[in-house]
Amino acid sequence: MSNTETHPSELTAEPNADMDGWQVLQGRDVPLGGPRAMTVRRTLPHRDRSFVGAWCFADHYGPDDVASTGGMDVAPHPHTGLQTVSWLFEGEIEHRDSGGNHGMVLPGEVNLMTGGHGICHSEVSTPSTTTLHGVQLWVALPEEAREAPRAFEHFAPELISLPTQAGEAHALVFLGELAGTSSPVLTHTPLLGAELRLGPHARLRLDLREDFEYGVLLDTGSVELDGIALHKADLACRETGPSSLELVAGEDGARLVLLGGPPFEEEIVMWWNFVGRTHEDIEKAREQWQAESERFGEVEGYVGKVDRLPAPALPGGTLRARGRRGKV
Ligand code: MN
């Protein structure tokens, strides 16, 4: 998905506090624009936090009744300096990009698109989709990969069973490694992305890497994370250090997304659909998109009301970089 906000605001951040334990970020509602358009709950970027590992953007949406929200129809729009990770719980989205890729995003199957130097893509929920429900995630590319060529990967992980202290738990590991299973999808920094499914009253202790930060997003159901009750679309984040976490599901069980990665030490400038390092990087990408530059290529086969999403105007002043400790 795109950040289709007409006036993407520059967040004013306060430095991340050095804190023990979990920092619970609550999703803020962001309408994606257009008539009957869907609203997402965004937790990253947050005024109090820029990253979980290299994960730099997290939208949770649905379950939306497509008949009332109109579903998803995002015209071709550009990306730079990042990878998009699409993960659905319900529904189906048709993806087309300027790397010549055309594929479906399906529940339980990950699509990872690399928009290093420049790519553009469209995303449209299919006519048979009645409910749309998922997460849209972005990964910041490190300096050595941020000009990477266009790429697109698809992977359908196997559902694995996790050992529990009570009840049942399963996982779909779509990026990285967890509980002895791993995803073959290429990332440019170590990352973890997994869907966790907990049965009623399941108690799960997960062994983690001490060198990773983690984020736990609650999709449905109810759960306590190390004794903290999460609400729908909350993203609980934790610094490196601890070697495990504990999840205890309520009577309806819970579905969650677990994100992780080592701290991302670079500073980035993030605006609209672009990630760069400086204000000038963003200004140039915006100009090139508006000028229909080769940098972004063209999407074949998209049919919609507009051929491409125009970039909003840049805000006045200089876009500031974000780092692990907030705005710099
Ligand atoms: Mn997009």
Cβ contact 190:177 at 8 Å = no
Boundaries of every domain in the chain: 23-261
Instruction: Quote the pLDDT of residue 1.
Output: 60
Quick: pLDDT tens for 102-116: 999 999 999 999 999
**Residue 244: strand pairing partners:** 207
Element (H, E) at 286: helix 279-290
**What are the DSSP E strand ranges found in 45-127?**
55-65, 73-79, 82-90, 93-97, 102-105, 110-115, 119-125
How far apart are the CA of 20 and the centre of ligand 1, in A?
Answer: 34
Question: How many angstroms separate the most distant Cα atoms in the chain?
Answer: 58
Binding residues, as ranges, are: 77, 79, 121, 123
CA atoms within 13 A on the CB side of 176: 24
What confidence score (pLDDT) does residue 14 get? 41
Instruction: List binding-site positions for Fe cation.
Output: 77, 79, 121, 123
pLDDT at 72: 86
Half-sphere exposure of 58 (CA within 13 A, CB side): 29
Position 20 scores a pLDDT of 62
- Rounded to whole angstroms, what are the CA distances from 261 to 94, 176, 193, 210, 217? 29, 9, 9, 10, 15
292 CA from centroid of ligand 1 (Å): 17
As its CATH architecture, domain 23-261 has Sandwich (2.60)
Average pLDDT by stretches of 10, the chain with 328 residues: 58 44 94 74 94 97 86 92 98 97 96 97 94 97 97 98 98 97 96 98 97 98 97 96 97 98 97 97 98 97 92 94 78
**pLDDT on residue 15:** 39
